[in-house]
Amino acid sequence: MNDNVTFGILGNFNKPEFYEILNDLCSFLKISKINFLILKNNNLDINKVSNKEYIEDLTEVLKQTDIIISIGGDGTIISSVRKFLVYQKPVLGLHIGGLGFLAECNKLNYKKKIAEIVKGNYFIEKRMLLNVKSKENDVNLNIINELVIERRDSARTIKTNIYISGEYANCYESDGVIFSTPTGSTAYSLSAGGPIVRPDMELIILTPICPHTLSMRPLIINDTDKIDINFNEDPNREVSLTVDGQIQKNIQCRSRVVVKKSKFYANYIKFAEDDYFKTLRDKMSWKGNLRV
């Protein structure tokens, strides 16, 4: 039993159903005598919040809460993980929106899931992250799903040299390359032909985007390896670095980029009854043997 747990609540304020779920969630927590705070945000429409007295700034939410409830889709959950990453707050995703691989509950079952957390019937799954650095461009970012390095302002392919722990691996002539965490294996990397891996594994996935040569296939790289990247291009040509589809930096091809395992982990709330492969079957619409 964990009667003293305090939840911090945030989410995608732009989704039409956000405030309905937020107010229903807060009412449930109040009636259940469960402590909570709502994270103050410039985009939060206070007039639509029923429990305004629970709105606090980030400092207070960090100080007083144990678990973060993130209301929204995968992008919202990724943003929430990033916001609280340094503080290692575990995140419970409450899904509203489209496909959604990261959320552990939805508007139909979240009350049951929260009750299980209060009883102590949950665990925290730690998932590895990546880190990308480019000293020339003052880039130092943690990667929850994937880093995409791709061409910019040109239809021409880019030639990306990859060195793994000091050993030359390959030059990918392609529209770009994706470096994915296990969590991100079902996102952009999968669309580009990358493999699906369990999110609790520790490895790095390198997936070329539309490679010029079809024999250039994805690579699975040890999580202890450091990946050095440079470009066989005009030094003044620019490429784009995009992290999790949310943070984008343009760098010149004379730059050097380093990708490696991050020192931080993402912490997700999980439950004993969770079945990763059932989730995969449902989300991917796998039908099994259609001849049966």
CA distance 151 to 123: 41
Given the residues 45, 74, 200, 274, the one annotated as active site: 74
Packing angle, helices 110-119 and 18-31, rounded to 10: 40
Tell me the C-alpha to C-alpha distance, in Å, between residue 52 and each of 16, 23, 43, 71, 74: 19, 10, 14, 17, 26
The pair of three-digit structure tokens given for residue 71, joined into one six-digit string = 């209301």
- Residue 146, φ and ψ in degrees, nearest 5: -160, 155
For 44-77, b/e burial (b = at least 16 CB within 10 A) is beeeebebeeebbeeeebbeebebbbbbbbbbbb
CA nearest 153: which of 239, 247, 44, 55?
239
Q: Are 138 and 113 in contact (CB under 8 A)?
A: no
Say how many Å lie between the first and final Cα of the chain, rounded.
45
Which residue type does 65 have? T
DSSP state of 271: -
Q: Check if 74 is active-site.
A: yes
State the Cα–Cα distance between residues 84 and 67, nearest whole angstrom: 10
Per-position DSSP letters for 47-71, written without gaps between them: GG-S-GGGEE-HHHHHHH-SEEEEE
Local structure of residue 107 (DSSP, 8 states): T
Q: Any idea which residues carry the catalytic annotation?
A: 74
